[in-house]
Amino acid sequence: MLEAGPLNLFYGDSHIIQDVKISVADGEGVAILGRNGAGKTTLFKGIMNGGPKAEGPITLRGEDVTGLPAFARARRGLGLVPEDRRIYRHLTVAENIKMGRHATRPGTEPYTLEEIFGFFPMLRDLQDRLGFELSGGQQQVLAIARSVFSRPDCLLLDEPTEGVAPVIVQDIARQLAAMRKNNGTTLLLTEQNVWFARACTERLYLLDSGRIVFSGDWAEFDANPDLKTRYLAV
């Protein structure tokens, strides 16, 4: 589904992401874990082509998208839920969700609001509320729903549990699992919450100082307890 790298990403003279290679198969769930400042957000921005200067190839469903701007990558099936959520504060929840239609692939219909409320039931009762009236966790669910609305083949979630109450973290994990089961969406997420990452994915990469320091499934990760203490804030 998604092949990136070896990827090198720069902010000015700072070489933030160094020779990172990521691949995600169709329908797979993959996590990228790392401490604050490891480079997770920069990596996602690079995959979307939304900020850092990028060197290295990216293919999506076998198509080379390396030279394409972010909106063109979105219209080829790549959906990003950014860390800062970018909720339209003065639009309603329903209007926010429908803003996702701009990223729909040509020839594809977005989901209906009813279908979205089926995936994310808490949004049904909130649909007429304004963005700024929602809690942080509700805004996160809304940001995910807005991205899902355009039926991305591959959904990138940048630290979706950051600042979200534990009860909503569990809701999000359940809803993403149900959504993947129903429509086979491929998932790539960055996290510091190991419980959530494990609940949503089959395997993981560990990122440290802009480099991949481990790649494997959760059983391999568990077999190396050192990894947690060395590379994660747990």
Q: Which residues bind ligand ATP (CB under 6 A)?
A: 11, 14, 16, 34, 36-42, 83, 159
Q: How far apart are CA 99 and CA 110, in angstroms?
A: 11
Between 127 and 209, CB nearer to ligand ATP: 209
Instruction: Tell me how far, at minimum, the Cβ of 126 lies from ligand ATP, in Å.
Output: 27
Between 36 and 229, CB nearer to ligand ATP: 36
Cα–Cα distances in angstroms (integers) from residue 84 to residues 157, 199, 203, in the given order:
11, 22, 25
Between 219 and 233, CB nearer to ligand ATP: 233
* 225: its two tokens: 């307890």
Outline where 150-216 has alpha helix (H). Answer: 166-183, 194-200
Between 38 and 116, CB nearer to ligand ATP: 38
CA-based max dimension of the chain: 48
Instruction: Tell me how far, at minimum, the Cβ of 40 lies from ligand ATP, in Å.
Output: 4
* 178: its two tokens: 């149900």
Between 18 and 23, CB nearer to ligand ATP: 18
Instruction: Tell me how far, at minimum, the Cβ of 104 lies from ligand ATP, in Å.
Output: 28
Angle, helices 136-149 vs 166-183, to 10°: value is 10
User: Do residues 65 and 76 touch, judged by C-beta distance below 8 A?
Assistant: yes
Instruction: Tell me how far, at minimum, the Cβ of 32 lies from ligand ATP, in Å.
Output: 9
Q: Classify burial at 63, counting beta carbons within 10 Å of its beta carbon; exposed 0-12, middle 13-18, buried 19 or more.
A: exposed
Instruction: Tell me how far, at minimum, the Cβ of 43 lies from ligand ATP, in Å.
Output: 7
